[in-house]
């Protein structure tokens, strides 16, 4: 292929006009248009290349920001919640640890969180101080119905209605094996999370006398 032929084709692509045999374009600005067209092509290629890098950077920044937001949602709000309550003592923090003692049903009802800030409930004959879980067991909590009461039947039958509560001592003798196993599992969970403060007394049963040494020993086991 002759050099002139190459110039003709290049001129044709660049300007859209034909060139003569001597390499000159019929259009006065043909050569300039070709150069201009080549410049635009180079600029477009550079823009595409730069745009790809910019798009990648935008995607990376977006992913980083999304990750940071998720971390804030998971942990930051907890910190904010703790900070918001820092100036206000929770009921559990403002109360001394309860000494070990036994309770009748009537005595247990005094600790429902309404008049007394301390909240107790019983599970399978054991009484637990759940004051630090007041957002769950307080008067406005989802399980507030169990505050100051024997929660065994309600927990065993997954019932949050008053039908699950008994005004008299509940020996749970009508529960089946699966329900009783559920009661024992709930008892273990409460032992792990809350302070065990004593027994729920049966009718006519006398409360036990606990020494300071026994009380301290039980609290140390829970800690």
CB crowding 104-124: b at 16 or more within 10 Å, else e: ebebbeebbbeeeebbbbbbb
Q: Write down the H helix ranges in the chain.
A: 3-15, 30-71, 77-84, 91-94, 105-108, 134-137, 152-157, 177-193, 212-222
pLDDT tier at 160 (50, 70, 90 boundaries)?
very high
Residue owning tokens 């600790």: 111
Q: Is the pLDDT assigned to residue 143 strictly greater than 90?
A: yes
pTM of the entire structure?
0.58
Share of the chain above pLDDT 90, in %: 48
The CA distances from residue 18 to 21, 37, 154, 155, in Å, are 10, 16, 94, 92
Point out the least confidently predicted range of 85-99, 119-133, 156-170.
Answer: 85-99
């Amino acid at each position: 292929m002759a050099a002139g032929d190459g110039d003709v084709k290049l001129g044709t692509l660049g300007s859209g006009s034909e060139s003569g045999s001597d390499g000159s374009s019929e259009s006065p600005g043909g050569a300039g248009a070709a150069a201009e067209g080549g410049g635009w092509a180079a600029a477009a290629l550079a823009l595409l290349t730069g745009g790809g890098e910019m798009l990648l950077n935008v995607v990376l920044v977006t992913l980083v920001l999304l990750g940071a937001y998720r971390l804030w949602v998971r942990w930051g709000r907890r910190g904010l919640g703790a900070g918001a309550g820092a100036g206000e003592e929770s009921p559990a923090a403002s109360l001394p640890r309860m000494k070990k003692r036994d309770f009748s049903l009537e005595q247990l009802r005094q600790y429902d969180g309404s008049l007394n800030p301390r909240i107790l409930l019983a599970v399978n004959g054991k009484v637990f101080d759940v004051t630090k879980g007041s957002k769950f067991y307080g008067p406005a909590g989802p399980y507030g119905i169990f505050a100051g009461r024997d929660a065994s039947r309600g927990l065993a039958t997954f019932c949050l209605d008053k039908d699950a509560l008994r005004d008299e001592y509940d020996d749970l003798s009508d529960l089946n094996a699966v329900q009783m196993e559920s009661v024992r599992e709930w008892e273990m969970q409460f032992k792990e999370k809350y302070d065990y403060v004593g027994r729920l007394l049966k009718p006519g049963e006398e409360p036990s006398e606990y020494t300071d040494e026994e009380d301290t020993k039980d609290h140390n086991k829970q800690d």
